[in-house]
């Protein structure tokens, strides 16, 4: 079968602004605009002199119980936005969407196009120790969306299956008003004063930017404006809670007291919050900024009780962390390439079931040579959509009634907030920005180029097929569990991606007996050329040899901590649950204990399943001898519907997750008797005519082309892989609600810092009451009672 390979030229892709803005956009109040033009963090109160840089009124956040959320206009989803749909029809657009409904799936195109580029933490101080250079588990989890057929268009709505009530989304709404309204106007939103808000103010239209691209009409809500800000003058407001609150927002009370007191440091610092934003939020923020044609984000750091400081982060700064360069060319082109590929995938799905609503899942998976993306689409009826979207609605509304006193009309939407972004927009081409040049393999200009391209794509297809086969028998799931255990225990935190992969491969081999694929040794000569210097795994034998514990015949070159990891894995493998003496530095002992607990749980689950399942995973040949193409099993036939993997960690967790889901009122469709389109998207990057793993330091003069292939999966195999995708998503989002005890998070560092913060604030408040209050811009000292009451 000849591969249908298409090419997209990034230079030919253009965005189109729709209509001119007529509704005024809020401005910052309280003199907060100073932050826009000063890089770095602005402390609300200088910790040394204790002078307030801004109005001390901002220091204490109005409790959410006192804010009248009924006075705010309700959010409208894409499928119910008649203005958005009418604009789409007027401009002949097929798909409508908003920043809140599109950024999760667009994130997976970044993983694909950048080949899982590690985050750039070079701006961190020398003392800061990053736990990981990967995006967080929630960021990497499969993304789901609804393609809602309505009035001749497909509206993209976010999938709310795992939405839950928490304080942060509501607090974000009230704090936006705090930052953009003078004190007397903001006080009107207090329950006791909300009758002072006029109906005109309550029902005032909100400002949006609309942008067209190919078949998309995109909507982005505008938070704030300053004409001095480059570009359109628009920027996004972000209220960022400290790490102790974010780790479990549903039980935020246990994290109250944690404070940001320093610029740098592992804890209680702006540096910690900035690093966490890189891993968990910058990608989403940068997509929102680009979609809304904005310049950057304005961040207010808080702990739900107090605001600590502010920071303006423009898009070039976010790009430096995400793409390794502050030249926005790379990020701008990647964004448009992502939309182009998304357009192609949605076209495939909507063509299969025209004028029907669809539910679609996106997930980029890792493989040694090239990542690939799963896309699963299935037709759904209106009742199916409502069942998913309302799964957690009762719990959310109960939270809003009891905590916030919020009353909603029957047809009101959830509390998702619209967010925005994009800095480079050009006029729409006469071809409506079509997906670029599409060519068949046979149409290459030279035989040499054709041979190189064929060799590269043959390797890509083989690697993807191997990875899919590993997934079907559970090896990929075990690998992920090992890597998550290493990350959650903060082990190997400073290792390179290639070195980390060696340890994971060795542990995987020790546990399963299956060596990792040695793709690096099997690359064709043409493929080797463009993979030199990339992170490729060494053989299982080499990795395993390097992980032998101390005392074995072969001397290891690893640090003592790595020896302990190997010893720990061996001990758990041979004697699960046994207590053995391990000598380690105090700093590493706690990390190793956490790692052992996670890894031990995984191994015990695997051995329990092994007693009732076959031993297919024990035979390395079953996972590595595949020579078939994507879409078939290892024997060339359709893949089996179910896996007999004895080491599938998801299966062992399923009972607990089902129990948790039942408590939340959630249901998961376990029935395989439905229509399903499974697709696998693979890509190869070309910069200036050369194949590369990922583009680096791209400039406006560079040519970045993306070759891509979309293959449809046989239905049986699609159902198997889809079920695994659903379980991975469920494990991440439901597991996030069943976290370990707060006291044990980060080896107890969060709890210790939170207690320290409470003690500090108590002493600081007592001291402040005895001293005058100084405010920037005021030469007069103020009494504490006059300022804070």
Task: Tell me how far apart the alpha carbons of residues 39 and 296 are, in angstroms, rounded to a whole number.
Answer: 12
Q: What is the pLDDT of residue 590?
A: 63
pLDDT in tens, 652-685: 444 555 555 555 555 555 566 899 999 999 999 9
pLDDT in tens, 123-152: 999 999 998 899 999 999 999 999 999 889
| β partners of residue 27 | none
Q: What is the pLDDT of residue 493?
A: 59
Tell me what the pLDDT averaged over the chain comes to.
Answer: 79
Lowest mean pLDDT segment, chosen from 325-339, 530-544, 746-760: 530-544
Check whether 432 has a pLDDT greater than 90. Answer: no
Q: What is the pLDDT of residue 611?
A: 39
Instruction: Extract the tokens encoding 309.
Output: 């400081």
Check whether 500 has a pLDDT greater than 60. Answer: yes
Check whether 356 has a pLDDT greater than 60. Answer: yes
Check whether 313 has a pLDDT greater than 70. Answer: yes
pLDDT in tens, 4-34: 899 999 999 999 999 888 899 999 999 999 9
Q: What is the pLDDT of residue 43?
A: 98
Check whether 338 has a pLDDT greater than 50. Answer: yes
Q: What is the pLDDT of residue 673?
A: 82
Scanning 473-539, the segments in alpha helix (DSSP H) are 475-488, 497-512, 519-522, 525-531
More reliable by pLDDT, 645 or 231:
231
Helix (H) or strand (E) holding 84: helix 82-90
pLDDT in tens, 503-517: 777 777 766 666 665
Q: How confident is the model at residue 444 (pLDDT cuts 50, 70, 90)?
A: very low
Q: What is the pLDDT of residue 180?
A: 98
- From the CB of residue 659, how many other CB atoms can be counted at a distance below 10 Å? 12
* pTM for the full predicted model: 0.83
Q: What is the pLDDT of residue 745?
A: 78
pLDDT in tens, 679-738: 999 999 999 999 999 999 999 999 999 999 999 999 999 999 999 999 999 988 886 554
Interstrand relation of 153-158 and 234-241 (parallel, antiparallel or unpaired):
unpaired
Q: What is the pLDDT of residue 789?
A: 83
Q: What is the pLDDT of residue 266?
A: 95
Q: How confident is the model at residue 626 (pLDDT cuts 50, 70, 90)?
A: very low
Using an 8 Å Cβ cutoff, are 34 and 42 in contact? yes
Using an 8 Å Cβ cutoff, are 537 and 501 in contact? yes
pLDDT in tens, 108-124: 999 999 999 999 999 99
Query: Who's near 371: CB < 8 A, 6+ residues apart?
Result: 111, 112, 115, 116, 364, 365
Interstrand relation of 95-98 and 153-158 (parallel, antiparallel or unpaired):
parallel
Q: What is the pLDDT of residue 652?
A: 41
| β partners of residue 60 | 306
């Amino acid at each position: 079968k000849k591969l249908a390979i298409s090419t997209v030229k990034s230079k030919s892709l253009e965005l189109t602004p729709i209509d001119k803005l007529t509704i005024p956009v809020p401005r910052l109040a309280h003199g907060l605009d100073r932050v826009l033009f000063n890089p770095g963090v602005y402390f609300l109160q200088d910790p040394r002199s204790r002078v307030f840089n801004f109005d001390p009124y901002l220091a204490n956040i109005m409790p959410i119980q006192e804010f009248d959320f009924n006075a705010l206009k309700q959010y409208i989803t894409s499928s119910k936005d008649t203005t958005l749909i009418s604009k789409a029809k007027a401009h002949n657009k097929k798909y409508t969407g908003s920043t809140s409904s599109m950024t999760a799936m667009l994130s997976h195109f970044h993983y694909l196009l950048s080949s899982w580029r590690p985050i750039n933490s070079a701006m961190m101080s020398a003392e800061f120790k990053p736990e990981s250079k990967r995006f967080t588990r929630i960021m990497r989890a499969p993304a789901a969306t609804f393609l809602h057929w309505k009035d001749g268009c497909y509206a993209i709505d976010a999938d709310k299956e795992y939405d839950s009530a928490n304080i942060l989304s509501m607090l974000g709404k009230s704090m936006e008003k705090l930052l953009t309204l003078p004190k007397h106007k903001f006080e009107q939103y207090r329950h006791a004063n909300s009758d002072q808000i006029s109906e005109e103010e309550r029902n005032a239209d909100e400002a949006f930017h609309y942008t067209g691209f190919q078949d998309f009409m995109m909507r982005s809500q505008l938070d704030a404006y300053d004409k001095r800000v480059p570009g359109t003058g628009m920027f996004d407001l972000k209220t960022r809670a400290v790490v102790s609150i974010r780790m479990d927002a549903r039980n935020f009370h246990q994290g109250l007291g944690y404070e940001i007191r320093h610029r740098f440091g592992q804890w209680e610092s702006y540096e910690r919050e900035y690093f966490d934003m890189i891993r968990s939020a910058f990608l989403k923020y940068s997509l929102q900024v680009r979609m809304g044609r904005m310049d950057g984000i304005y961040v207010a750091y808080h702990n739900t009780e107090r605001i600590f400081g502010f920071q303006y982060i423009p898009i070039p700064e976010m790009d430096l962390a995400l793409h390794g360069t502050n030249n926005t060319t790379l990020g701008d082109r990647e964004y448009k390439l992502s939309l182009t590929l998304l357009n192609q995938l949605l076209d495939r799905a909507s063509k299969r079931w025209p004028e029907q609503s669809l539910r679609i899942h996106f997930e980029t998976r890792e493989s040694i040579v090239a990542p690939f993306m799963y896309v699963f689409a299935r037709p759904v009826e209106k009742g199916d959509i409502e069942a998913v979207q309302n799964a957690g609605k009762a719990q959310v509304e109960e939270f809003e009634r009891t905590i916030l006193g919020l009353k909603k009309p029957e047809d009101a939407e959830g509390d998702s907030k619209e967010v925005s972004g994009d800095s480079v927009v050009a006029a729409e081409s006469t071809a409506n920005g079509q997906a670029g040049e599409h060519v068949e393999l046979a149409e290459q200009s030279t035989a040499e180029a054709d041979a190189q391209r064929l060799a590269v794509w043959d390797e890509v297809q083989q690697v993807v097929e191997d990875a899919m086969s590993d997934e079907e028998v559970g090896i990929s799931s075990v690998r992920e569990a090992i890597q998550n255990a290493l990350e959650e225990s903060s082990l190997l935190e400073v290792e390179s991606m290639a070195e980390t992969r060696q340890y994971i491969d060795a542990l995987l081999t020790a546990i399963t007996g299956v060596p990792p694929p040695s793709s690096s040794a099997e690359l064709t000569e043409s493929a080797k050329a463009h993979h030199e210097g990339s992170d490729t795994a060494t053989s299982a034998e080499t990795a395993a040899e390097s992980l032998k514990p101390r005392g074995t015949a072969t001397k290891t070159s690893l640090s003592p901590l790595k020896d302990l990891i190997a010893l720990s894995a061996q001990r758990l493998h041979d004697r699960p649950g046994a207590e053995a003496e391990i000598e380690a530095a105090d700093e590493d002992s706690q990390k190793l204990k956490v790692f052992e607990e996670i890894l031990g749980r995984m191994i015990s689950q695997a051995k329990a399943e092994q007693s009732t399942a076959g031993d297919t995973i024990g035979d390395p040949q079953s996972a590595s001898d595949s020579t078939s193409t994507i879409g078939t099993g290892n024997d060339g036939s359709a893949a089996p519907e179910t896996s007999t993997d004895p080491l599938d960690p998801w299966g062992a967790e399923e009972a607990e997750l089902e129990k948790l889901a039942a408590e939340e009122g959630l249901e998961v469709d376990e029935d395989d008797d439905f229509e399903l389109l499974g697709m696998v998207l693979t890509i190869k990057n070309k910069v200036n005519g050369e194949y590369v793993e990922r583009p680096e330091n791209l400039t406006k003069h560079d040519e970045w082309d993306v070759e891509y292939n979309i293959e449809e999966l046989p239905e049986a195999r699609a159902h198997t892989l889809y079920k695994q995708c659903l379980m991975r998503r469920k494990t991440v989002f439901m597991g996030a609600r069943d976290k370990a005890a707060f006291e044990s998070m980060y080896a107890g560092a969060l709890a210790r810092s939170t207690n320290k913060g409470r003690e500090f604030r108590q002493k600081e408040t007592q001291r402040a009451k005895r001293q005058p209050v100084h405010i920037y811009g005021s030469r007069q000292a103020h009494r504490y009672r006059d300022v804070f009451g």
